[in-house]
Amino acid sequence: MIEVIRLIFFLNGKRVEFTSRPAQTALEVLRLLGVNSTKEVCSEGDCGACTIALGRWQHSEFRYKAVTACILPAARLHNTHVITAEGLGTPDNLHPIQQVIYENHATQCGFCTPGIIMSIFVLFVGNPSADLQEFKKALEGNLCRCTGYRHIVQAGEALIHRVHSGLLETRLFMPLWAKSAENALRNEPFPLTTSLENVPEYYPVESYTLAESITEVLSTLKAEAGKVKIVAGGTDLFVEANVHKRFHTHYIDISRIDELSIISAGKDMLTIGATATLAEILSHPVVKESLPALYEAIDNMSSTQIRNIATLAGNIGNASPIADGATDLLAVSDQVEIIGETTRCIPLSSFYMGYKKLNLNPTELITALKIPLKNYNYCGYIKTAKRKNVDIASVSSCFTLQVDNDGSILSATLAYGGVKEFPALALKTMQFLIGKKLDEDTISATQDIVANGFSPISDVRGSEEYRSELIRNHLLKHFLRIGEQNND
Amino acid sequence: MTEKHLSGKLHVCGASRFIGETHLPEHLLHIALVYSEYAHAEILSIDSGKAEVVEGFVCCLTSRDIPGENNIAHGNNDLQPLLPDVKVEYYGQPIGVIVAENKLSAEEAARNIQVEYKELEPVLTIEEAVLRGHFYIEPRKIECGNVEKGFADSDYSLSGEFETGAQEHLYLETQRCLAVPDDDGGVTLHSSTQSMSEVQTVAARILGLPTHKVSVDVKRLGGAFGGKEAQATIWASLAALAAFHTQKPVLLCLNRMEDFISTGKRHPFKNKYKIGFNADGKINVYQVELYSNGGAYTDLSIAILERALYHSDHAYYIPNAKFTGYPCRTNLPPNTAFRGFGAPQGIITTEFAIQRVADFLGLDAIEIRKKNCYITGQTTPYGMEVLEPVGREMFDELETLSDYHQLRHEVDTFNKTHKYNKQGIGVIPGKFGISFTAGFLNQGSVLIWIYTDGSISLSHGGIEMGQQVNTKIAQIAANVLGVSINRIRIESANTKRVGNTSPTAASTGSDINGYATLDAATRLKKRLSNQAVKYFLQHDSIVTFPDSVIFRDDKVYSDATKDNSCSFGELVSFAYFNFTDLGAHGYYFTPGITFDHKKGKGKPFYYFVFGASLSVMEIDLLTGEYNLKKVVIVHDASSPLNQEVDSGQIYGAFAQGYGLCTMEELPIDQKGRYLAVTPSTYKIPTISDIPDDFTLKQVTDRRSQASVMGSKAVGEPPLIYGLAPWLAIYDAVRSLNPESNQINLKFPATPEAVLTAVNKLRRNNDSY
């Protein structure tokens, strides 16, 4: 027996109901509901062909986000409004975005096109004055193998021109029927009901719970110790499930626990709730202002669609050796707040215990990340990957410096990803730098120290030699950036 | 006005249908496959006992269940089993077909199939294959002049090796086929294939049926790029086999990882070259041995190797040449067609040799390229005359358009003032031969019906896969009949309406099918013209002649001067009631294509497509990362059928070439398994990898050497432009030490490869 959930949501303005099996993806559900435009291509959020606009009430505002339906848990469709390409227009009555793609020959085989339409749609709905750079950034997560993107860019230029010159009004981009769906969702959020269903015994998952409170999560964790997987964003867990067919018996999804999604900035501490998405963190003013390295890291993490789902806490909890967020957070001396029987705060550096091994009990939940706000003289992040964007790093690094008035280093932190089983601090280099001045001798000495501190492995993202070289050169690049910064 | 994509409005609304997505038949069964877990092994036993008890299981099919001949190879001398019975030849080779009531149950059953193997040693690399003499055929050769004398007469010579890597097609729609049994024992296949007649022939052979009992229907593909030319056949045949046994509709749809693991790629090549030249940069002689990694079965390896040989002169006149090609057999998935079809691998080797000549002589490589570029009347090493001086024209245009000398100056200045970043310029011409080198494939057919209301149905042998062959074909028919394009419906490609089709490949889709359309539409126009003469006499008492009748703007005019006209629909209706055949079949074959493989001489191409392109790259000396800063392309379009469709092809081909030479890397492990098997590890260019500073000029002077309505094929030629970024990276690395003749830059030039090349060069510098 498995626990199925009765999803109620709006699809292109119409209320739909669907009984979903646990850990089904939104893409599967949409296709079963007859949505043709949302394509399955990679099943791992890397191509954007299944991009949908997902809207819901959050903090008394109804907002749409572009997300990849293939790694979005179906449960999260509940109480949302989903807009897909077929909702925007029909061949006889194209939406202005569809029109501009059509006119500019920006579709060839057509398989990626609906996803591209949706990415552009969400961009302009949220940011009517978007420019070409923002347009391209919004589409970094949409692969196209036919067009070479030039015609898409030309369509973007035409669209931006039409919007900026007043020929098109972006407020008309949102279909009229959207309002009634949004209103219906505000006035009577539908309860989520579950029931039991008989399935063949090979069905891998027994339940997927959309948790409503921390208490609920903790009691489930306690009751089913070790058999429950917590889902924050799910962008890694659903890749595991879709591509590698690795499932967990029970999932508990914490993304709808509102108190966990709060980002709050105090005088000297930034607290990021466990379910705050990367996009939400990115748009928080304090992050851009006071933690430029974190901003850079997240800005270059995956694609718009994934940043709208994934969380920083999940990035840490997933324990990947190359997690961009974790590398960054290590350097800005983050504290992980964990709730179980009691609440405890531990430094991130003692959170990692080995390859994919964490200082976290099966009955505990990461609730927040706490980042001290300091006056850094430098706080920078560098990532090297095969591709400039939407790629996993060969090596990434984060470096912070605080310097006193006469130029001596008061504190230095340096963290690397991709150099050992988990993101790690270059402790010897950090110690060495204390009290030193930033001169050529210091710089060349640290390069040798840092290179000796790690023995990276060879894999598809880079050989041992390449990674060793990058460890040295990243540090040099940080120093060069500091030089540039001081010259400005 | 440029006609838009015929399916464009459907695409942007997500309304266009692809195979296996919606409108599925009732009682549909699903397939999961059992794949070989070794690159090379004997199959000792296959036990389906545990699979059979899985709920929803229907059947497990192996080689023993093939009623016909277990061979999917399409050439005469080849043998490639649909399902091997004794031996697996590559990791990921299908060995069993599980049919079940739903996909999950099929997958579960497939996991429960137990296969016992005896592992054998795999041959994975060209080196190992050469060592063991694993070649598909005797070496192919092309020779001209006197190579020994050529070297003796040269002031200098340089030699070396050049290796290219594999490339995954990454068409967005994975391989798939929906097979539906017919009531007479036949089967209808909805296959995502570029070669519907090959699918038809092979599936019929597998099932032991005459060809007419298998029909294939193809509406459109979600991308192909050569990857569905020969390699759609296996999946279609497996689905056909399952439908045949179960007598129910069956869907086989690969997931992305299966597609990555089990399908062939662009052939890796390892080439050995030697080039002889004079102090002034004139090339006297070029000798090259090409070794291709063909994988486990022949597939299209021989034709691909031939095209590599035919393009080893590239755009240059080489009086003394010797090109030899060896297609190697290894235990990798059979490598296959991929846009360019071997030409890029031959061309980049030649271009690298020329680059080295320039470096050696201390000259700008563009000067060497211009000096040796073909001029009218010169012949290629295989004896085909180059009839138009287009190559040189392209270079001159490129130099002007890019302000080449100023650009070179700017790049040099940048390099003098930047310690950790360097820029480089890469220039590459284009000269791509158009026609199938297997001459008999150069034929196309269409079937047109004009219905009595004046609407038109057109079926042709080409497959629509985004390249908009349908748009171009409709334009041709509309042009001949003087009607708007909306009047024409391009039907799905279907073996019942158009038989014995050639693959939509070798960039020839619009050439051969376009000419056949011209033929059929002209026949209909003649018949309608005769009827128009009668019509105008009866209705307007006007005497006119068939040749004077004009078809324009959905109207038919009695002649050029008089204002008498009727609507196209009216004339069609009139013609029908006067007993006129309103259906026509059109046919075309490309004249004059011959080749003698023994002599290595002939005319393998109808014409060439020329071009030239330039890229500017900036590299980071600390990480090896790079940025494509600028692209300039000059393309010989002749008189394009649809200039915007063509520009879309050029942009798309450029991006694929750019990926091929930079970020697209497919390492394999010692077991013969690809290590990058999803888009998270295999990276293709994104929108941000293509620079905003991108200039394309299509030269639209109508050439004498061209195809239908003066147009030229456009699918593959521009891929070569995408190799300029590699030469630009090379140039940037070389700026560290322009004297060096020892730059070791891998192809593809991943950031790691760039940093390695930089470091090697620096170490060499230090040792001076």
For residue B43, tell me if it sits in a domain: yes
pLDDT band with cut points at 50, 70 and 90 for residue B643:
very high
Confirm if B381 and B318 have CB atoms less than 8 A apart: yes
Short-list B477, B475, B473, B478, CA closest to B461: B473
Whether residue A448 is predicted with pLDDT greater than 90 in this model: the reply is: no
For residue B683, tell me if it sits in a domain: yes
Q: What is the C-alpha separation between A68 and A79, in angstroms, rounded?
A: 18
B482 and B401 in a single domain? The answer is no
B383 and B455 in a single domain? The answer is no
A145 part of contact set with chain B, CB < 8 Å: yes
pLDDT band with cut points at 50, 70 and 90 for residue B1:
low
Give how many domains chain B has, as a whole number: 3
Question: Comparing A57-66, A89-98, B581-590, B644-653, which segment has the lowest mean pLDDT?
Answer: A57-66
Choosing from B531, B560, B589, the residue where a domain stops is B589
- Match 């497959």 to its residue by tokens: B463
Token pair listed for B256: 């992305």
Q: What is the C-alpha separation between A246 and A251, in angstroms, rounded?
A: 13
B665 part of contact set with chain A, CB < 8 Å: yes
Confirm if A382 and A414 have CB atoms less than 8 A apart: no
Phi, psi (rounded to 5 degrees) for B633: -130, 130
B603 and B619 in a single domain? The answer is yes
Q: How many CA atoms lie within 13 A of A390 on its CB side?
A: 28
Identity of the residue in B16, B644, B663 whose CB atom sits nearest the CB atom of A387: B663
Q: What is the C-alpha separation between B31 and B115, in angstroms, rounded?
A: 18
B372 and B490 in a single domain? The answer is no
The pLDDT tens digits of the residues spanning B423-455 come to: 999 999 999 999 999 999 999 999 999 999 999
B742 and B616 in a single domain? The answer is yes
* Mean pLDDT for the stretch of residues B92-104: 97
Token pair listed for B129: 């294959």
Q: Output the CA angle B640-B643-B645, nearest 5 degrees.
A: 110
Confirm if B509 and B466 have CB atoms less than 8 A apart: no
- Contact call for A109 and B221, based on CB within 8 A: yes
Whether residue B723 is predicted with pLDDT greater than 70 in this model: the reply is: yes
Per CB-CB distance under 8 Å, the chain B contacts of A38 are 14
B115 and B211 in a single domain? The answer is yes
β-strand pairing of B421-434 with B607-620: antiparallel
B52 and B195 in a single domain? The answer is yes
- Contact call for B105 and A200, based on CB within 8 A: yes
Phi, psi (rounded to 5 degrees) for B429: -85, 175
B486 and B546 in a single domain? The answer is yes
Instruction: Give the CATH number of the domain where residue B718 resides.
Output: 3.30.365.10
Greater pLDDT, A487 or B572: B572
Q: What is the C-alpha separation between A65 and B325, in angstroms, rounded?
A: 54
B10 part of contact set with chain A, CB < 8 Å: yes
B584: helix, strand or coil: strand
Confirm if B372 and B278 have CB atoms less than 8 A apart: no
Maximum distance among all Cα pairs of chain B, rounded to whole angstroms: 96
- Match 């497990």 to its residue by tokens: B60
For residue B314, tell me if it sits in a domain: no
Q: Which three-class secondary structure string do you get for A78-127?
A: CCCEEECHHHHCECCECCHHHHHHHHCCCCCCCCCHHHHHHHHHHHHHHC
For residue B114, tell me if it sits in a domain: yes
B57 and B80 in a single domain? The answer is yes
The pLDDT tens digits of the residues spanning B280-328 come to: 999 999 999 999 999 999 999 999 999 999 999 999 999 999 999 999 9
Query: What's the pTM value of the predicted model, to 2 decimals?
Result: 0.98
B343 and B414 in a single domain? The answer is yes
Measured over the CA atoms of residue B473, residue B475, residue B476 and residue B481, the dihedral's sign is: positive
Q: What is the C-alpha separation between B509 and B521, in angstroms, rounded?
A: 17
A152 part of contact set with chain B, CB < 8 Å: yes
* Mean pLDDT for the stretch of residues B99-118: 97
B426 and B449 in a single domain? The answer is no
Catalytic residue, from B570, B716, B739, B752: name it.
Answer: B716
Token pair listed for B370: 């211009």
Q: What is the C-alpha separation between B666 and B682, in angstroms, rounded?
A: 7
Task: Give rounded-to-5 percent helix, strand, coil for chain A.
Answer: 35, 25, 40
A481 part of contact set with chain B, CB < 8 Å: no
B 593-612 residues with CB < 8 A to A: none
Question: Comparing A1-15, A201-215, A347-361, B319-333, which segment has the lowest mean pLDDT?
Answer: A347-361
Query: From the centroid of its chain, how far is CA A215?
Result: 25
B579 and B499 in a single domain? The answer is yes
Shortest Cα distance, chain A CAs vs residue B527, angstroms? 35
Confirm if B565 and B549 have CB atoms less than 8 A apart: no
Measured over the CA atoms of residue A118, residue A123, residue A124 and residue A125, the dihedral's sign is: positive
What letter does residue A170 receive in the DSSP assignment? Answer: G
Choosing from B532, B555, B589, the residue where a domain stops is B589
User: What pLDDT is attached to residue B768?
Assistant: 39
User: What pLDDT is attached to residue A357?
Assistant: 87
Q: Select the residue from A50, A105, A397, A463 to test the B interface by mutation, using most B Cβ atoms within 10 A.
A: A105
Confirm if B480 and B537 have CB atoms less than 8 A apart: no
Phi, psi (rounded to 5 degrees) for A329: -65, -35
For residue B276, tell me if it sits in a domain: no
Residue B94 belongs to what domain range?
Answer: 8-13+29-121+175-253
Whether residue B22 is predicted with pLDDT greater than 70 in this model: the reply is: yes
Q: Output the CA angle B24-B25-B28, nearest 5 degrees.
A: 95
* Mean pLDDT for the stretch of residues B732-759: 94
Q: State which residue of chain B sits closest to A459, comparing Cα positions.
A: B675
Q: Which residues contact B334 (CB under 8 A, 6 or more apart)?
A: B80, B90, B230, B231, B264, B294, B295, B296, B297, B298, B299, B301
* Mean pLDDT for the stretch of residues B137-143: 96
For residue B328, tell me if it sits in a domain: no
For residue B59, tell me if it sits in a domain: yes
The pLDDT tens digits of the residues spanning B145-170 come to: 999 999 999 999 999 999 999 999 99
The pLDDT tens digits of the residues spanning B587-623 come to: 999 999 999 999 999 999 999 999 999 999 999 999 9
Confirm if A137 and A305 have CB atoms less than 8 A apart: no
Whether residue B459 is predicted with pLDDT greater than 50 in this model: the reply is: yes
For residue B180, tell me if it sits in a domain: yes
User: What pLDDT is attached to residue A486?
Assistant: 83
CA distance readout (Å), B283 to B153, B323, B347: 11, 15, 16
Per CB-CB distance under 8 Å, the chain B contacts of A384 are 623-625, 751
B716 as an active site residue: the answer is yes
Residue type for A128, please? P
Instruction: Give the CATH number of the domain where residue B116 resides.
Output: 3.90.1170.50
The pLDDT tens digits of the residues spanning A273-306 come to: 999 999 999 999 999 999 999 999 999 999 999 9
Ranges of H-type helices in A228-311: 237-244, 278-282, 285-290, 292-299, 304-307
Q: What is the C-alpha separation between B648 and A383, in angstroms, rounded?
A: 32
Choosing from B562, B589, B616, the residue where a domain stops is B589
Q: What is the C-alpha separation between B494 and B600, in angstroms, rounded?
A: 37
Identity of the residue in B7, B56, B688 whose CB atom sits nearest the CB atom of A389: B688
Q: Output the CA angle A6-A8-A12, nearest 5 degrees.
A: 140
Token pair listed for A360: 């976290």
